[in-house]
Structure 1
């Protein structure tokens, strides 16, 4: 049984509204740029069902939109949906299917002052896990985790520039660096329902409900390095790597893997006096525990002034439940 998210129609309507708003704004004001990225990817996660651990590899897609109404401001919106299913056997020996579905959305605004950037944002993550067999649904669980975050970043261009090894060798390749530090606060709620086997009347064995809630606050530190190789005046290749570290300051750590996947991890924004490229990591590995890191590498192809194609792989390290992830993104800049 596949889980259908009730937010899909709302996401689609919101996406079309934002794209229309960006188009109208670009024609009416002197906006710097607007871009839309569509991504497809796969990640990993584990879920505890009683004494059993179910491993999922959700696949899905996401939509990221960025709009710059001026040289100093950027508005960003992010939407995603991922799902997977797995087979397992519970204590009653009946073949059981576990269906998992997650969706998230968020928005942020960033202010740029020369090489400094300041970001504030809000995101919501929610998922559903349902177990079913040929007789009934013994288990349901849903989680919702809104997050508030802020960060400060600094970017600079490397001092050394060499001739591009590709395309037009008269053009200069450049290196870019970006560091950032931020805080993220998350509230989460989890609701579980366990149903008795169908041979037991509900009045004798009613469903058991369990509610759990909490919050956490943690620090995000990140460093991003990229190398830009121009192929022509309008095209080029960006090679990059990023390292981020997440440290829990207060609260529970059992949902860090969920809350850690938020839109504040749009990797970097190159300095204003360089070529600007959106590196959208819509699917990035995460982990859990009081402290963990994420290592990512990516390659981005700027086909011309408008179209970009990007590939990324990532892996979490030193956490309690380390995972891997990968994605491909296609973007268009207006």
Structure 2
């Protein structure tokens, strides 16, 4: 390459590379020879609106008692968009109907009962909810909300806290209990029978954790790698026997374990001549340890050894052959 142009070898997908991070930067090293120079490049990847909003389910089933009072709100799983910023989900539209209005604030989406239900007049109601992003051209996603009108289940499950926090070490054994969530329902019988499930989550996260629908225990089901992801945010849904539900957030921080050895990257070959001046650069060597902080600290040391010339040496007049052995000692300080 003589032009100095940086050419992509394959398509860059920002969502796969950086997920929801606000800044997406690719870092690379560039070695120039004659003279030897090492440069670092930072490529900032810009987001484009190439993803549509989508809901975790194509059909949302809700069961609401006809005794529900005007102004009562029902939580709806929000839509998700892999894009960020204005290209992400910006607003929602609820199809016109006689009973419900929409209340959306950030990631919180609720149906609010504007007029009381009457099971004797209408046993089922279908609502169309549309999520819109702010990109150009604008993209959208829809979900049908199917409401079954029931008799008297007037208490939703309640979590004692809105956010649960937990930690788990990377490479934790399968079935390790991370945290337990619990919600209570003031109703009796089937109306107060609470079960648990995860809200929307990507496939890779779904393969790492599971939740017991009866106990609310969240356990490890896959290999957790700190170098791939430092934390997880999971929404948990508690639902009673007739459909009323509430949500809580579970924040899981991954603890780094010193499970990676440093790797050496030889940037250029070493050339030594008898006329080399003091301070001359012989070669460029780099090492990287993917572990975090102290576990990823790399210390370099240079060991110089000498040995006498042997008879096979071309320079018979030299009294001593100097051999440089570059040894890199890596200390993961704990």
TM range, smaller chain:
under 0.3
TM-score (norm 1): 0.23
TM-score (norm 2): 0.23
Which structure is higher in RCO with an 8 Å CA cutoff and minimum separation 6?
1
Report which of the two has the higher share of strand: 1
